[in-house]
Amino acid sequence: MTSPAERKSIAKIAANSRWARESDRTAATAAARKNSPASIEYWLKKVDPHEEMPYQERIKRAENAKAAYYARVMRKARQAKAAKAAKASGEAA
């Protein structure tokens, strides 16, 4: 089994090798960007996978779903930060 440092080194070599061969980085990452929660297309597929709603309604729902997702992410980050601070203050005492 490799150490975390060794795995990091292997991953870095692989990533740099891959990008050294890529002529069009934008095209190479297009699918990942389209399927990312940062993309409205991602949320359009989530809220109406069969495209049965009117487009404007799909957009509204997609924007709400995206906002809810990021609100949950921020909430979890705040909770984790608070838990870490509580643990640190408990250890310091």
Residue 61 · residue 48 · CB < 8 Å:
yes
The upper half-sphere exposure of residue 47, i.e. CA atoms within 13 Å in the direction of its Cβ, equals 23
pLDDT at 76: 98
Q: What is the mean pLDDT of the chain?
A: 94
For residue 33, the one-letter residue type is R
pLDDT single digits (tens) 51-92: 999 999 999 999 999 999 999 999 999 999 999 999 998 876
Q: Structural domain boundaries of the chain? A: 1-34, 37-93
